Amino acid sequence: MKRRAIGVSVAIIGLLAFISTAYAGSNGYEPVVKAPDTITAFINDIDHTNGKVTLQADDIEWYEGKEADKMFLEREPDSGLDGSPDGYYIINDDKRVKTLEVDPHAVVVMQIYDHTGNIYDITTEWDQAIPLAKFEAIYDKKDVLDVSEYPYHLTIKDGKVVKIVQQYIP
pTM of the entire structure?
Answer: 0.82
Cβ pair 139, 148 in contact under 8 A? yes
Its domain, for residue 27, covers 2-62+91-166
- Beta-sheet pairing, 160-166 with 88-91: unpaired
Backbone angles phi, psi at 26, to 5 degrees: -100, 5
Total tally of structural domains belonging to the chain:
1
Residue 41 CA to residue 91 CA, distance in Å, equals 11
- The predicted pLDDT at position 2 comes to 41
Residue 131 CA to residue 104 CA, distance in Å, equals 10
- The predicted pLDDT at position 43 comes to 98
The per-residue pLDDT string of the chain (170 residues; one tens digit each, 9 = 90 and over) reads 444 444 434 334 443 444 444 444 445 678 888 899 999 999 999 998 888 999 999 999 999 999 999 999 999 999 999 999 999 999 999 989 999 999 999 999 999 999 888 999 899 999 999 999 999 999 999 889 999 999 999 999 999 999 999 999 97
How big is the CA angle at 23 (ends 62 and 64), to the nearest 5 degrees? 15
**10 lies in some domain:** yes
> What is the Rg, in whole angstroms, of the alpha carbon atoms belonging to the chain?
17
**24 lies in some domain:** yes
**67 lies in some domain:** no
**79 lies in some domain:** no
- The predicted pLDDT at position 28 comes to 64
**118 lies in some domain:** yes
**51 lies in some domain:** yes
Q: Tell how far CA 116 is from the center of its chain.
A: 19
Residue 23 CA to residue 52 CA, distance in Å, equals 37
- The predicted pLDDT at position 115 comes to 87
Q: Coil, strand, or helix at residue 9?
A: helix
**136 lies in some domain:** yes
**57 lies in some domain:** yes
